[in-house]
């Protein structure tokens, strides 16, 4: 039985005031049991969020980490630094990192090794573009991203994969529950072919314009184990409703 996981990716949004306000609303109403919940603010808001979430059911994660452990890497933040702050999670390979920072599967694999070695729980994002889906390449692209990031890795217990079709991120377009389920089942089949991965235990989240209005249907699918939520995670009411759908 895989516990539903709902993760908010706040991207490059927020201020000290808005973080305090949003987390205040979330923490006041978060159900004591049900879906597991994490929020991923920007690096500069991590310490504040960790302090606010201390002792609550909400864990805090980062949106990226360096592949390197320490040293002369200006602007980077290591996995050990995140753990030292109190982070539990890290998102790796988000499509915006792949698109705007030219992150390759090989780089994501290095970051994954660093994060696992530091003791972080990792969410690896995969997903095809609209052109790739339209030309029938979606499965091949996703399989390649999974292999590229995960093959040869040690210690992938607790790994989480997020399927985020690029055409559905921040666009208001959502994969239908059937489309998403088909890709999630395919991802689980790919995972079962990788050494060191327990495919049945691995949670596969869906991401791409998830909101209160579509979460129930998505979570009802057999291989959808929760959501990575962008825009709707900045609205406490929407986010809490998605968390509530995961507890049902």
Annotated active-site positions, please? Answer: 94, 164
E strands, 12-57, are: 36-40
Site for ligand PEP contains 225 (CB under 6 A): no
The residue from 191, 228, 240, 243 that contacts ligand PEP (CB under 6 A) is 228
Residue 143, CA distances (Å) to 27, 161, 179, 184, 218 in order: 37, 12, 16, 11, 22
Buried b (16+ CB within 10 A) or exposed e, 60-73: bbbbbbbbeeeeee
Binding of residue 224 to ligand PEP (CB under 6 A): no
In angstroms, the first-to-last Cα distance of the chain is 14
- The DSSP secondary-structure symbol of 174 reads -
Rg (CA), the chain: 17
* Cα gap 224→231, rounded to integer Å: 19
Total residues interacting with ligand PEP, rule: CB under 6 A: 13
Question: Is 124 or 210 the residue whose CB approaches ligand PEP more closely?
Answer: 210
Using the contact rule CB under 6 A, the part of the chain among 21-29, 113-121, 206-214, 240-248 near ligand PEP is 206-214
Residue 208 within binding range of ligand PEP, rule CB under 6 A: yes
Interface with ligand PEP by CB under 6 A: which range of 28-36, 82-90, 102-110, 225-233? 225-233
Q: Is 122 in the site for ligand PEP (CB under 6 A)?
A: no
Q: Which of 64, 105, 164, 223 binds ligand PEP (CB under 6 A)?
A: 164
Pair of tokens at residue 85: 């702050």
Residue 73 beta carbon to ligand PEP: minimum distance, rounded to whole angstroms: 25
| Chain residues in the site for ligand PEP (CB under 6 A) | 9, 164, 169-170, 207-210, 228-232
């Amino acid at each position: 039985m895989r516990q539903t996981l709902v993760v908010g990716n706040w991207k490059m949004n927020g201020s000290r005031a808005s973080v305090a306000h949003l987390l205040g609303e979330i923490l006041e109403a978060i159900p004591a049991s049900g879906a597991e919940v994490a929020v991923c603010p920007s690096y500069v808001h991590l310490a504040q969020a960790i302090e606010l979430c201390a002792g609550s059911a909400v864990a805090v994660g980062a949106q990226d980490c360096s592949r390197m452990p320490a040293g002369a890497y200006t602007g980077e933040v290591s996995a050990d630094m995140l753990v030292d702050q109190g982070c539990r999670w890290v998102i790796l390979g988000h499509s915006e990192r792949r698109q705007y920072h030219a992150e390759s599967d090989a780089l994501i694999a290095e970051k994954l090794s660093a994060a696992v070695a530091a003791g972080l729980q990792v969410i690896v994002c995969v997903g095809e573009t609209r052109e790739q889906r339209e030309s029938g390449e979606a499965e091949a692209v996703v399989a390649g991203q999974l292999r590229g990031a995960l093959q040869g890795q040690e210690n992938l217990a607790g790994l989480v994969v997020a399927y985020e079709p690029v055409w559905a991120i921040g666009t208001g377009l959502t994969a239908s529950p059937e489309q998403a389920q088909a890709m999630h089942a395919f991802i689980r089949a790919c995972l079962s072919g990788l050494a060191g991965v327990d495919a049945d235990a691995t949670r596969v989240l869906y991401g791409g314009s998830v909101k209160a209005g579509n979460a129930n249907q998505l979570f009802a699918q057999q291989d959808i184990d929760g959501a990575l939520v962008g825009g709707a995670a900045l609205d406490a009411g929407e986010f809490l409703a998605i968390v509530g759908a995961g507890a049902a």
